[in-house]
Amino acid sequence: MISPAQTLTLLAAIIMVGAIASLVWVSLAWAARVTPRASLLMAGANLASAASLALHALRGKLPDLLTYRLSDLLAVLSFALLGTAAQAVYNRHPPWRATAITAAAAGALLTLLPYDGDLRWPARVVNASCALLTLAAGTAVWRQLRAIDVRRTPARLALPLLLIGALMAARGLETFVNPGRTPDMRLPTPFNLAFLWAALVLTLVQNSTLAFLVLMRLIQRIERLLERDALTDTLNRRAFDCALADAHAWLKRGRGYALVMIDMDRFKQLNDTLGHAAGDAALRQMVRELQPCLREVDRFGRLGGEEFCVLLPDTDIAGAALVAERMRALVEAAPLRWLEQDWPLSASFGITEAERGDADGGTVMARADAAMYRAKGQGRNVVQP
């Protein structure tokens, strides 16, 4: 025999978990500054959920307007915030219009529907909208994670959202199977007991999963800071050397690569004439001009000063020459605009193709560097193999 105390205890446990989780997410957002937007959304989702369940548990003790209508509105709000928070972890501007439209439509229906006597339709609106919001968010998160890295097991990380959506859909279907009892979670029925246990577990799992996603995001940011040049956002020397070593390891398996060594012409003269701030601006501009020439698999690194190198996997010397010539033309066509005057920019390019006899990537880079110095000796602004 199921007692009312069991369902009330589970309700209280879910409320407590939501309240504590909201405090934790607020601290992550304001104190630790870890993905503040997603953290604040998760805090709001947990707080709205806890408030909704608390009002539900107080039916008969507070005005019906609060414990029925407001409770249901807060439930829809909590699921809308949850879905947006999950997508905000990896998307600075998560799509919110569809979520807002769904939540607004559900809110309008709940405002218009009567709450006296038969509560099946309000319950169906709440459960259907919450299921739709979480299933859509779970699918979106799965796609985001898969686009970033399939090795991160995106299905498992999106699974809690999908399960929550399925749970809310099941509760909505229960209003057709067992009308008149499901809308009240305090009733000691087997379905309510199973639902509340599942809700408690999924609340814990969902908060843990989102915390894991936030941690992954933080780790990725740290990794990016460690491997990126602060001025140009290209790979730093250490990261580029690692990429070159990997490419050379693949050379032994039959996968070749080419290098394009780049050195900005007359960079010291630019610095001495216009100042170091202008030199920094020139380097950033050159990098921007070269980006359209790169594929997703290519690696672009700053070796030091005004010297850069591009690693082109699966590319021979002819392909490297085409890429380098396009780069040369783009740099030449975009002078630096500084203090109301134009300063012409150009760069010298040395190209080479890795050969099976090369001992390591450093040997290939030395050959590309020598080609670049030959380009300098030929008057600059040329491509030299």
Average pLDDT, the chain: 89
pLDDT band at 1 (very low <50, low <70, confident <90, very high): low
**Element counts in the chain: helices (H) and strands (E):** 13, 7
Instruction: Judge whether 74 and 52 are in contact, CB under 8 Å.
Output: yes
- All structural domains of the chain with their residue ranges: 4-226, 237-384
The answer to whether residue 154 scores a pLDDT higher than 70 is: no
Q: Which of 306, 340, 353, 355 is catalytic?
A: 306
| CA-only gyration radius of the chain, Å | 30
Handedness of CA 144, 146, 147, 152 (dihedral sign): positive
Cα–Cα distance measured from residue 163 to residue 157, given in angstroms and rounded to the nearest whole number: 11
The two beta strands, 307-313 and 299-304, are antiparallel
CATH number of 4-226: 1.20.1070
Coil/strand/helix, residue 264: strand
Give the lowest-confidence range in 169-183, 189-203, 323-337, 347-361: 169-183
| Residue in the block written with tokens 């030449």 | 332
The answer to whether residue 36 scores a pLDDT higher than 80 is: yes
The residues with which 383 forms a beta bridge, in sequence order, are 349
Q: Long-range CB contacts (< 8 A, 24+ apart) of 320-327?
A: 320/258, 320/259, 320/260, 320/351, 320/352, 320/353, 321/351, 321/383, 321/385, 323/260, 323/293, 324/260, 324/349, 324/351, 324/383, 325/349, 325/383, 326/293, 327/260, 327/262, 327/289, 327/290, 327/293
pLDDT of 150 reads 46
Give the lowest-confidence range in 98-102, 132-136, 216-220, 225-229: 216-220
Task: Dump pLDDT digits (tens) for 233-263.
Answer: 899 999 999 999 999 999 888 889 999 999 9
Mean pLDDT of 278-305: 93
The answer to whether residue 182 scores a pLDDT higher than 70 is: no
Q: Is 355 an active-site residue?
A: no
The answer to whether residue 304 scores a pLDDT higher than 80 is: yes
Task: Dump pLDDT digits (tens) for 56-104.
Answer: 999 989 998 999 999 999 999 999 999 999 888 877 778 888 899 999 9
Cα–Cα distance measured from residue 69 to residue 62, given in angstroms and rounded to the nearest whole number: 12
| CATH architecture, range 237-384 | 2-Layer Sandwich (3.30)
The answer to whether residue 2 scores a pLDDT higher than 90 is: no
Spatial CA neighbour of 349 closest among 286, 272, 288, 298? 286
